[in-house]
Every structure is written in C-alpha cells, then in structure tokens.
Amino acid sequence: MQVGVVGLGRMGLGIARRLFCRGHQVHGYDRDPCKRSQATETGIACSESLPGLIGRLGSPRVVWLMLPAGCSTNETIETVSRLLDRGDILIDGGNSFYRDTARHAEHLQQKGISLLDVGVSGGIRGENVGYCLMIGGEREAYEKIHPIFRDLAPEGGYAYVGRSGAGHFAKMVHNAIEYTFIQGLGEGFELLRSSGYGYDLASIAALWNNGSVIRSWLLELVSEVLRDSPDLEDVRGWLADSGEARWALQEAIERDVPAPATAISLIMRLRSRQEDSFSAKLIAKLREAFGGHEIKKRI
C-alpha cells in the first residue's frame, strides 16, 4: 500500500522504515531537513512540505501522523484536513488525548475523511520486532488499510478496539500501567542494592526473567542497563512525564475508579525534578521545632 508518514523522529522513522522494508510505498515529511535526509538515505521518498507530500499520494490517500501530542498534532490535523479529499484516511499514531481525538474525528467525518487513532507501543525496538497497535475509529477505514497494521505488528500485536478515541484511551491506560511497573522496578532494585548482600543486580534481573511471575521486557532492559552501568554513575534521576498518566488519573477520578499506584508513580516523577524539595525542607524544620530533631544544613 501507499502511505505518507508525517513526523520522522525516532518512532515515525522506525514506522516508515518498517513499512518500506515490507514492500509498501512510503513517502515522508518532517519540518527538520536533517530528519528528511536521514529517511531519504534509507530509500524513503521525502517531500519538503505537507502539500508536496499529499500531492505524491494516490487516491484514496493514507496519511500517518507521528507527532507530539497537543498543539503540534492538532495544528497538523487541521492543515492536512484542508489538503485531503473525501474518502481519504488520516491516522494519528501519537499519544493524543482521546477526547481531542473524538473531536477531530467528528470534524473530519463532516468532510468525508476518516480518522483512525492508533496507540503505538514498542519503543525504538519496534522497528525490528514489531509494534503493538491499539486502533480506534471507523471500522470500515480500518478494514481498508489493515495490511499496514499487519506489517507493522508482530503476530497478534494489533487489534481494532472500538470507536474514535478507543485506541488513544487504551494507550493512555497502557502508559499509566507502565509508570507503575517502572516505579516498582526502581524501588525494588534500590532495596536490593542497599541490602548489604552485594547482589549482582543485572544477574538478579536476568534470573527473575526466567520463570518468575514478574518476567517481562522491562526486566530484560533492567538487566541490560545494569550490566552496562551497575552504579548508574552518569545518570541523573530526573524523570519526564509525557501526559498520559496525568490524563489517566484525571479519568480515574472522574469515573470514581481508585488508582493509587498510578497517582504515586506520577507524583514520584514530579519529585524527581526537584534538587531539594521545599516541602521536605519545611517538614525538617517543623520536626526541629516541635521535637528538637536534628536538621541537615547545606554545606
């Protein structure tokens, strides 16, 4: 099939290359000429503008957006919608908020353009082993282009999950669960490290990945990371969050669904960005004031 990929970052370029290697006609566009050049080196035909990309595609056009959630995706959807025709299919493969997705889908439907929202998991290794794809939107549009999803995913790694927004909602929850997994691994391995037993942490991770109930790809990565750098000397414990856990927590509150693990995992990411939190300093002073407890002074 023929597909245009907009956004040739780590994930977008991986998707474009995987499709290209499986015989699809792939055209690419990115605002960054360096990323276009990188894609061109692998055989992907790139355009210098969105209109140029759309003009290269045969009808009905299939355009896959792989952009950061929020303004970048919203503005590009608006721009691309003016370039597409009735019967064309637009795919949002970024981590967009599902309510934004539903709003875009309704607007595009009035123009006869189908929007599929695809939650994509697999990270940068998905190009080689396949991506897990959670696909929402019009089922008819999904059926028309399902070979694209089939060739991007490993066996059993893609599915149509429901109406517009369902794919992005599923990815939102997926990422919230990921937060809690990672938080648990971080805490557990720090406890092992402080135990006094002198564990080889990489070996423990590898051991647990053979038969234990917590075996996973994340444990494989723990083993790899700690084998390369057992003490992580060059790493700051500064953690970003991409938004999905915040949205998931908001949804849980609105729906009266208890999600304490998600909440704590998100809060710990916020805490990681503080060199020395004001709240911790205030608590230390309060303990000194009411109980005479010692406080640590900055040197």
Full set of structural domains in the chain with CATH:
2-163 (3.40.50.720), 171-281 (1.10.1040.10)
For 182, the 3-state DSSP assignment is: helix
Q: Which entry of 171, 244, 251, 296 is annotated as an active-site residue?
A: 171
Is 61 within 8 Å of 88 (Cβ atoms)? yes
What is the distance between the alpha carbons of residues 288 and 282, in angstroms, rounded to a whole number? 10
CB 112 within 8 A of CB 141: no
Active site residue 140: no
Taking a C-beta distance cutoff of 8 angstroms, is the pair 134, 143 a contact? no
Q: For position 174, what pLDDT does the model report?
A: 97
pLDDT score of 281: 86
Give the CA radius of gyration of the chain: 23
Q: What is the pLDDT of residues 194-225, one digit of tens each?
A: 999 999 999 999 999 999 999 999 999 999 99
pLDDT value, residue 234: 86
Identify whether 178 is a catalytic site residue.
yes
pLDDT block averages, 10 residues each, the chain of length 299: 96 97 97 96 94 96 96 96 97 97 97 98 94 98 98 98 98 96 95 96 97 95 93 88 92 97 94 86 85 83
Catalytic site residue from 75, 106, 111, 178:
178
pTM of the model: 0.93
